[in-house]
Structures are given as structure tokens and as C-alpha cells.
Structure 1
Amino acid sequence: MPREKLSYAQKQCVTAAGKLMQQTAMIHPGARIGVAVSGGMDSWVLLQVLKLRQRIVPFRFEIMALHVNPGFDPHNHAPLLPWLRANGVASHIEVTDHGPVAHSPANLRNSPCFYCAKLRRTRLFELCKQYGLTHLAFGHNADDLVTTFFMNLVQTGRVDGMSMKEAFFGGRLTVIRPMMLVEKPVIARAVKQWNLPVWSNPCPSAFDSRRSEMTDEVKELCKGSKFAKANIFNGLIRWQLGLTPSDQ
């Protein structure tokens, strides 16, 4: 079967993911990767990119889509099903009550977003164990790295970013973020060009969270300089990969 011709944005996604996977020895022969699919553009492009990387990487690895529906709309993941069938990707899809519980009186100590994310991640870890997966992949991108760094610094005083590859449970599971070198606008172009069926986020806190506030604050910080955000991102990447400027 001939390979599809990729646009510039699509090539950026596939190439950048491959570069980071090689730099960090992110996966190994026989890896079984659970891909956390939320329905947003980041996780959709991650799923597409890993599917394409299977043709490029000189060893076999498997992917399995994991969708944990938070429960606001139990049917909004319907567009995922035909794509999985057409591409021969195994999956586990379930509907939970994580979102409503996080927004209920049962959760008085944490923000709804924090608590819902905690419940979802716990369930994803359980599914990885259930299916014998070696890796769990998230679609976090370059913009997420910058936002997370400032959130950690401002809210907790920690100088900490977002790991690209991190072992859990004594090394039995590795969390990976292959899209960390790709900026959000590139992902946005690629998802349209691949015509991936992104669905809307029905969470009432989707655009009213501390993360979205910090994203706006970073935009304000970088306003007036077309290089500021790129410089912050490049500095964080060099720091996390242990590179010097000449290495990048």
C-alpha cells in the first residue's frame, strides 16, 4: 500500500515525535502502548502519529486506544469508533461519572479539574495493568509544557516541567508524551488536514480552569515578542533533555 503524502504540518508532527522518541529511547521492541484518547485535537493527532510511526520504526510495537468518558455526554465518543475500525486499532472505551462527581459536593477539597484528572489517570493506570500494557501515552504538547512549568512555579514554588518519559510502579509502566516538541498551532493544522473527528468538550469547567487562566497569562507575558514563547519552550526542552544550546 503506498504511503500517504503528508503536509508540512503533518510531517512536523510525525518527525518531531520520532525525534523525541529516539532521543529519550521512549519505546522498545514489543512495546504495548495505551494511548489516552480524550477526543481533543492533541490526543487525536497522537493516535494518528503513532499509527504512522508503526510503519517507520524498525521494530514492532502495538497501540491500544483508551477512552475514559468523564460522563457529561455518554455518547460524544461515537466518532472514535469508525476510525478505530477503519485503522484496525484495538480499544477500550468506557463511560464513568468522574466529571459529575468532581463537580459535586463529594469533592470539596480540590478543584473539579484536578479531581477529575486524578480519577481518570487512576483508571487509565488500572486499564494498563488489566491489558498488560507497557506504556501509557498522553498527547501533551509544547504549549502544555510551558503552561505546566509556570503553574508549578507560581502555585507550588517548584521548578518543574512535564516529564517526557517517566517510569511508574517500579518500571512496570512508562508514561510517555511523544508530542512534547510540537506546538499547538501545528497540531491544529494537522488535525484539520487529517480530517480527524475531534469532538467538543462538554465539561462546564473546560474554559474556566486554572490551566486555561495560566495559558492566557503566558500569552500576555509573551505579547509583543514573537520569540519569547519559543525561547521559553526551547530553554525548557534543553533543561529537561539535559542539552546545551548547541545540541538542540
Structure 2
Amino acid sequence: MTLYNKLKRLIGRALFHYEMLKDKDYVIIALSGGEDSLVLAYFLKDWQKKMRIDCKFLAVHLDMGFPKDENKYQEGVKELEEFCKSLEIDFYFSKTDCGIQAIEAFEKDISAPCFVCSWHRRKYLFKLAQERGANKLAFGHHLDDAIITFFINMFYHGELSTILPLQEMFKGKLYIIRPLILVEKDLISRFVKKMNWKVLENPCPFSKETKRKEIENLLNTCIYPLNPKIKRNIATAIFNPKIEYLPRKVW
């Protein structure tokens, strides 16, 4: 099976099983410019054509406000717009201060910068969805993200939970969809390399020092090398929990 076919099959399985795309949907695609978001946009459009669904896409790229090489960044944004144009997907760009607020929170030791940045980013996207009349918001979270989130929540929040493939928001007025939820990160990176797509560099100064990165490194260096089946078994456990074999709350 080719890399393209494998990706399309896994994404299609998620789309169909969780009923992520329907006629008359208006989907906002969170397009950071990273590998995940490029693959997300490409295969959403690919599957829309195959399924012959009458739905609308709007790829949204937000300037988070982090310090960066502005000229290089603007060139990257133009390339993103051209990428969307080639897919016949409308492109929307907007400047925000999410990154600035994250830096301020870090400097004042008020809250974790990633939490602040993510919260404001989602708030902006939720508001945009309401203004545009969109009913779906697509994120490029993949299988590795689901596994890492599971361990973060268990280690640091004392709960067994992770990101959902389909998540209802605001009493059904908006749904978050994650079409890449069954896809491993390695497949995404290999496909982007094969397609020779240019990836927009992440200017976030905290991207390499997060709890998420710590857990990712722990899994890749200490856990997965123990046995080639471990990663797949963790994923299977997350998607097939045996609730009846978990004890009831004590504390």
C-alpha cells in the first residue's frame, strides 16, 4: 500500500466512523502551516471530492504574535495561501496577540504559557466560527497527540482522558473534528517530505520546553524501544477502554 493510500484509508476511517463530514457543513481548518495542518487540509479536500459532499472549507492561519523574522514569515504565509488556492480552499489570515499574552503570563509566572496561548487561540477560532456561521472546526491532532495527551492528563491531572475525535461544543452549535486521530506522526512527516511541501517554522519560544515535549521524549526514548507493539497497544487501550475494570472514585 502506498503512503498516500495508507493515509487516506486511516483518515477516511475516522471521517466515516465518527461522522465528521456531512452535507452543508461549514468547516474551519486550523492551518498553522506545520506538517499536520497541511496534511489535514489536503486530505479533507481529497475526501470531500471522493464523498461528493457539499460542504465549505475555510483555512484559517493566525499570526500568534511571537517575535520572528517578519519577512521570512510573510513569505511563508503567501506560500500557505498558494497551497490553499491549489486545493480550492478559501484562505483567511489574521494577526492576534495570543503569543504576547503567553509570554506575559510566563514572565509574571501567572500560568503556563502553552495553556494561555491555546486558550486564547481557541477563543479566537470559536468567535470566528460564530461570525462566519461555521459548524465544524478541524484540528490536525494525530494519534501521537492522543497518546501524549493521555499521559499528560494521567501524570499531571490525575485523570484518564485524552483528546476526542469528535467533540461537541456550545450545545451542538459547533463541533471540533480531528480527522488525523488514527494517523501516526511518522506517516504525516514522511508524506510531507514526499510531497516536498514547505513547512512554516513555529516561532513559539516555548515549543521545545513543554510538558508535551517531555512526555514525547520519554515515550520515544524509554517506552517504545522496549517492544515494537507497545505504541499500538497503548492506542488500542485508549480507543477500547474497559470501564467495568476500572475502580470507582475513592478520593
TM-score norm. by structure 1 comes to 0.89
Contact 1:12 1:182 (C-alpha < 8 Å) held by counterparts: no
Stretches (4+) displaced over 4 A: none
**Post-superposition offset of 1:169:** 0.9
Q: 1:227 corresponds to which residue?
A: 229
Secondary structure, counterpart of 1:59 in structure 2: coil
Percent sequence identity is 29
Of 3, 7, 14, 1:9 maps to 3
Secondary structure, counterpart of 1:64 in structure 2: strand
Q: 2:200 corresponds to which residue?
A: 199
TM-score norm. by structure 2 comes to 0.88
Contact 2:59 2:89 (C-alpha < 8 Å) held by counterparts: yes
Which runs of structure 2 are paired with 1:166-245 in the superposition (5 Å)?
166-219=167-220, 220-239=222-241
Contact 1:101 1:107 (C-alpha < 8 Å) held by counterparts: no
Contact 2:31 2:59 (C-alpha < 8 Å) held by counterparts: yes
Q: Does 1:55 find its partner at 2:49?
A: yes
Q: 1:43 corresponds to which residue?
A: 37
Quote the Cα distance in structure 1 between the aligned partners of 2:155 and 2:80.
37
Q: 2:145 corresponds to which residue?
A: 144
**Post-superposition offset of 1:203:** 1.1
Gaps of 5+ in 2: 243-251
Secondary structure, counterpart of 1:68 in structure 2: strand
Contact 1:36 1:138 (C-alpha < 8 Å) held by counterparts: yes
Which runs of structure 2 are paired with 1:73-112 in the superposition (5 Å)?
73=68, 75=74, 76-104=76-104, 108-112=109-113
Contact 2:143 2:183 (C-alpha < 8 Å) held by counterparts: yes
Specify which structure has the higher proportion of helix. 2
**Post-superposition offset of 1:107:** 5.5
Secondary structure, counterpart of 1:33 in structure 2: strand
> Which shifted more, 169-178 or 102-111?
102-111
The one-letter code of the counterpart of 1:222 is Y
Q: CA RMSD in A?
A: 1.7
The one-letter code of the counterpart of 2:218 is E
The one-letter code of the counterpart of 1:81 is E
Quote the Cα distance in structure 1 between the aligned partners of 2:133 and 2:90.
13
Quote the Cα distance in structure 1 between the aligned partners of 2:215 and 2:233.
18
Residue by residue over 1:90-123, the C-alpha shift from the partner in whole angstroms, topping out at 9 and shown as x without a partner, is: 1221111211221125763211111101110110
Quote the Cα distance in structure 2 between the aligned partners of 1:78 and 1:133.
24
Quote the Cα distance in structure 1 between the aligned partners of 2:208 and 2:190.
21
Quote the Cα distance in structure 2 between the aligned partners of 1:159 and 1:119.
25
Aligned length: 234
Of 55, 64, 70, 2:58 maps to 64
**Post-superposition offset of 1:86:** 2.6
Residue by residue over 1:136-159, the C-alpha shift from the partner in whole angstroms, topping out at 9 and shown as x without a partner, is: 000000100100000000111111
Quote the Cα distance in structure 1 between the aligned partners of 2:108 and 2:130.
27
Gaps of 5+ in 1: 1-6, 241-248
